[in-house]
Amino acid sequence: MPRADFVTSLVLIAFGAAMLWMSLEMPRFEQRNINPYSIPGIVPGILAGVNLILAAVLFVRSLARGGHRLGGEGWREIAFGGGAKRLGIAFVLTVAYAVGLVGVVPFWLATFIFVAAFILIFEWPLVAARRRWVLIVGALVQGVLVSAIVALVFQELFLVTLP
Amino acid sequence: MIESFTYFISALGEFLQPSILIHVAWATLLGIVIGMLPGLTATMGVALMTTLTYKMEASSAIIILICMYVGAIYGGSRSAILLNIPGTPANAATALDGHPLAKKGLAGRAMGIATTGSFLGSVIGMVFLALFAPILAEYALEFGAFEFFWLAVFGIVISGNLTAFDDPLKGWVAGFLGLSLAMVGQEGIHAYGRFTFGTTELLSGFDLIPALVGAFGFAEVLTVMLLPRAEMVKSAVDSVIPKFRDIARYWRTIPRSGVIGTFIGIIPGVGEDIGAWVSYAAARRKSKERDEFGKGSIEGLMAAETGNSAAAPGALIPVLTLGIPGSAPAAVLLAAMVLHGVRPGPMIMIETPAFIPSVVAMVLVASMAMLIFGIAITKPLMFVLSIPRERLMPVVFVLCVIGPYAITNRLFDIWVMLGFGTLGFILRQMNYPMAPLVLGIVLGPILDKSFRRGLTLTGGDLEPFFVRPISAVICLLTVLTVLLSIGRVRRALGIAKMKITPRRLRRGNAKGNGSGDEP
């Protein structure tokens, strides 16, 4: 954790510094003759300062715990362990659905493709070769059912507009 | 008081109509199912339901959301007992004793205890909601910009402190990150667009619902896919009907846990999970069977479930009276109430005096429905837990996409959900709590407006922030919370106390402690 804290503290310092700079750059509306204590940048500036202080404490603490010594076997395990592979696939599939499919193709089609693909990709290695046709049929049926039920319940019953 | 009671009775009569009872039944049952399913939390359930009920009449929509909230917090106990995976973060303490009981073949008894504890916890929380909320609302009328500023700061500090007990620094980082993210978009005084990078989408800032669905829905999907598969206890389930002797034997645990849970719920941003842990710890300290805790203690299970369920109505108290959420699901409820035209805050008892008694009646109806479903439906609910995650998670994610889109019809809100989900997942992996982040998003605009209004009123003089009585008290509490969570200060105080206390008294105390509670 000290290594993660070290990296996080650097990111937070960069975030705090950028926020502080942008707050100072915000207009003061002198020409509008507004009260100088109500300018838009005042609270973001203070928050940026607090973020910087908290990040600095995290930085110093992670240094004291040896967090700056980056590298080693731990990273390899995090990046290539079994859980990470599942996580990576899930992340790619979900983002591809939400950004690449929704709003591009009709919602029911996007949902059908996503649900069926998700089940097929994750269950494929868990099923014996001769039982895979059952998996394919099951994934397609669930894809059809989910997209149909979601479209029906949300659009017809709750009058929600779908993407 | 009599007037409030009349409103309560009339609301109860209204909610017992068949059309409302149908809503109560399906929403509570769905809440239990959502709570049971790892990957779907109470926050996600209430957020999703907010989008579904957006076009309904206000009272029907809010009762559905409260049923969802109460049902989900209870439902999480089922997966905690049977799978050893808390269905919602609120049920983490439940798993400690619930799962060992299930492994001993006592899953039914454990579920019965969880049901009783949850029902009684909700009822205790409801009583406090009925008694305290009107008093607090009246008191909050004296709050001005200075007090609301300190309340926002205190909320972030205490929430950061209690939700990341081992490392408050991470809680504060999360809280101030939430406050910073709330600064995005048009500010409330001059309508200047801050941190918008020239985009029109960012002008309205980050809406709470997409952010919450991301942090509690999408992040949860990723977490479930990361973790190894869970095995359900397959032993035959004994009777789930609660035994009177279990309740009678631990009669002190229930009110104690209920009171603790409610008060933890009242603290801004500190919700059901901490309510359960604190109740559990208190029960363990006072118990005669503390060695059994963690190995299948009925008392531990009862304390955890009473504590988390009492925290839910507790968390509604600051929502209704101050417009500040006591927990993450309560933050969604707050947003939902505003969407439906209710203005929670100090003026609530003046503008809509019937609303608080009506919410009390909603909690009672939801608790009754939870009790009935908890006892009557066991086997079908167990089937829900056997659905493999590979089949369930894509459906959860589809709901995560629809939820944020449904209210504003903007694809941008789906991207906000993805962004907050990814951020939430990374932060959670590094032990940063999510509750202060969410609270920060809610409190950001309050903090911003209160500070600038306060300064404008005083012409830049900071003194009223520190000398007005209520401001001074909240400021002092904030400083004390920060100081006491710094290890060095705590140690220095310990040494100072040792020096001040006469040696004779110290010896006496040591003897007392020796025969005392700590294992």
What ipTM does this complex have?
0.91
Is residue B516 predicted with pLDDT exceeding 50? Answer: no
3 state DSSP class of B53: coil
Determine the average pLDDT of the residues in A23-47.
88
d(CA B229, CA A66): 34
Mean pLDDT of A93-105: 92
Q: Is the pLDDT of residue B74 over 70?
A: yes
**Inter-chain touch A40–B222, beta carbons under 8 Å:** no
Q: Would the CB atoms of B390 and A4 count as touching at under 8 Å?
A: no
Closest of B358, B316, B314 to residue B336, by C-alpha: B316
Q: What is the pLDDT of residues B201-227, one digit of tens each?
A: 899 889 888 888 888 889 988 988 887
Say what the pLDDT of residue B237 is.
Answer: 62
Q: Categorize the per-residue pLDDT at B505 as very low, low, confident or very high, splitting at 50, 70 and 90.
A: low
**Per-residue pLDDT reduced to its tens digit, B448-486:** 999 999 999 988 888 999 999 999 999 999 999 999 888
How many other CB atoms are there within 10 angstroms of residue B53's CB atom? 24
Find which of A47, A57, A155 to mutate to test the B interface (most B CBs within 10 Å of its CB). Answer: A47
Cα of B502 to nearest chain A Cα, Å: 37
When pLDDT is averaged across residues B296-307 and rounded to a whole number, the result is: 92
Q: How many CB pairs under 8 A join A and B?
A: 157
Q: What is the mean pLDDT of chain A?
A: 87
Helix (H, G, I), strand (E, B) or coil at B182: coil
The strand pairing partners of A102, in sequence order, are A105
A123 vs chain B: nearest CA distance in angstroms?
Answer: 7
- The 3-state secondary structure of B367-398, one letter per residue: HHHHHHHHHHCCHHHHHHHCCCHHHHHHHHHH
Judge whether residue A21 has pLDDT over 90.
Answer: yes
Residue B137 has pLDDT above 70, yes or no: yes
- For residue B499, give every residue at least 6 positions away whose Cβ sits within 8 Å of its Cβ, in sequence order, or none: none
* Model confidence band, residue A30 (pLDDT cutoffs 50, 70, 90): confident
CA quadruple A103, A107, A112, A118: dihedral, nearest 10: 40
Chain B hits for A122, Cβ within 8 Å: 390
CA distances to B103, B104, B118, B280, B324 from B297, rounded to whole Å, are: 13, 12, 16, 11, 35
Alpha carbon separation from B183 to A46, B115, B145, B280 (Å, rounded): 11, 42, 18, 37
Look at residue B38 and tell me whether its pLDDT is greater than 80. no
Partner-chain contact B190 A118, CB within 8 Å? no
User: Which of A28, A80, A91, A94 best probes binding to B when mutated, by most B CB atoms within 10 angstroms?
Assistant: A94
Q: Among A34, A94, A150, whose Cβ lies nearest the Cβ of B402? A: A150
Minimal-distance CA residue of chain B relative to A156: B52
In sequence order, which residues have a C-beta less than 8 Å from that of residue B101 and are 6 or more positions away?
Answer: B81, B107, B109, B110, B296, B298, B301
Q: Shortest CB distance from B226 goes to which of A27, A87, A163?
A: A87
Selecting from A38, A61, A118 the residue whose C-beta is nearest the C-beta of B456 gives A38
CA–CA dist B208, B361 (Å, integer): 27
Q: Distance (Å) from the C-alpha of residue B353 to the closest C-alpha of chain A? A: 30
Cα–Cα distance measured from residue B308 to residue B91, given in angstroms and rounded to the nearest whole number: 7
Q: Residue A79: its pLDDT value, please? A: 58
Q: What does the pLDDT read at residue A141?
A: 93
Answer yes or no: is pLDDT of B435 > 60. Answer: yes
Please state, rounded to an integer, the average pLDDT across all residues of chain B: 86
**Interchain CB distance below 8 Å, A119 and B459:** no
Partner-chain contact A99 B391, CB within 8 Å: no
Q: Looking at the predicted structure, is the pLDDT value of residue A118 above 50?
A: yes
Phi, psi at residue B185, to the nearest 5°? 105, 180
Q: What is the pLDDT of residue B153?
A: 94
Query: Is B390 in CB contact (< 8 Å) with chain A?
Result: yes
Using a CB-CB cut-off of 8 Å, the residues of chain B touching A103 are 411, 414
Nearest CA in chain B to A111: B398
Give the minimum alpha-carbon distance from B53 to chain A in angstroms, rounded to a whole number. 7
Indicate if the pLDDT at residue B447 is higher than 60.
yes
Amino acid B62: pLDDT: 93
Instruction: Look at B125-129, B147-151, B173-177, B390-394 and tell me which has the smallest mean pLDDT.
Output: B390-394
**Residue B482: both structure tokens together:** 């920060």
| Residue B514 binned pLDDT confidence (cut-offs 50, 70, 90) | very low
* DSSP letter, residue B495: H
Tell me which DSSP letter residue B229 carries. Answer: P
Report d(CA B301, CA B298) in Å as an integer. 5
Give the model's pLDDT for residue B410: 87
Residue B389: pLDDT band by 50, 70, 90 thresholds?
confident
**Given A35, A95, A114, which is nearest B418 (Cβ)?**
A95
For position B502, what pLDDT does the model report?
63
Report percent pLDDT > 90 for chain A: 51
Residue B515 confidence class, pLDDT cut points 50, 70, 90? very low
Q: Chain B interface, mutation test: which of A43, A62, A108, A126, most B Cβ atoms within 10 Å?
A: A43
The model's pLDDT over A73-98, given as tens digits with 9 standing for 90+, comes to 555 555 556 678 889 999 999 999 99
Structure tokens at B491: 């140690």
Residue length of chain B? 519
Q: What is the mean pLDDT of residues B372-389?
A: 81
**A66: region left, alpha or beta (phi > 0 left; psi from -120 to 50 alpha):** left
Give the residue-averaged pLDDT of B245-272: 88
Of B51, B52, B190, the CB nearest to A40: B190
Backbone angles phi, psi at B115, to 5 degrees: -65, -50
Chain A residue numbers with beta carbons less than 8 Å from the beta carbon of B447 are 43
Q: State yes or no: pLDDT of A41 exceeds 50.
A: yes
End-to-end Cα, chain A, rounded Å: 40
Which of B93, B96, B90, B98 lies closest to B114, judged by CA? B98
- Which of the four pLDDT bands, split at 50, 70 and 90, describes residue A71? low
The whole-model pTM stands at 0.85
Q: What is the pLDDT of residue B503?
A: 64
- C-alpha distances (whole Å) from B407 to each of A100, B279, B403, B404, B412 are 21, 37, 8, 6, 12
Domain parsing of chain A, residue ranges: 2-70, 79-157
SS (H, E, C) B241-310: CCCHHHHHHCCCHHHHHHHHHHHHHHCCCCCHHHHHHHHHHHHHHHCCCHHHCCCCCHHHHHHHHHHHHH
Q: How far is B40 from chain A (nearest CA, A)?
A: 16
Q: Which residues lie across from B193 on neighbouring strands?
A: B186
Residues forming beta bridges with residue B186, ordered by sequence position: B193
Q: Does B192 touch chain A (CB under 8 A)?
A: yes
Residues of chain B found within 8 Å of residue A61, distances taken between Cβ atoms: 169
Inter-axis angle of helices A107-123 and B389-408, nearest 10:
160
The pLDDT value given to residue B244? 78
Per-residue model confidence as pLDDT tens digits over B10-33: 888 888 889 899 999 999 999 999
State the CB neighbour count (10 A cutoff) for residue B281: 17
pLDDT digits (tens, 9 = 90+) for B140-183: 888 889 999 999 999 999 888 888 877 899 999 999 999 999 99
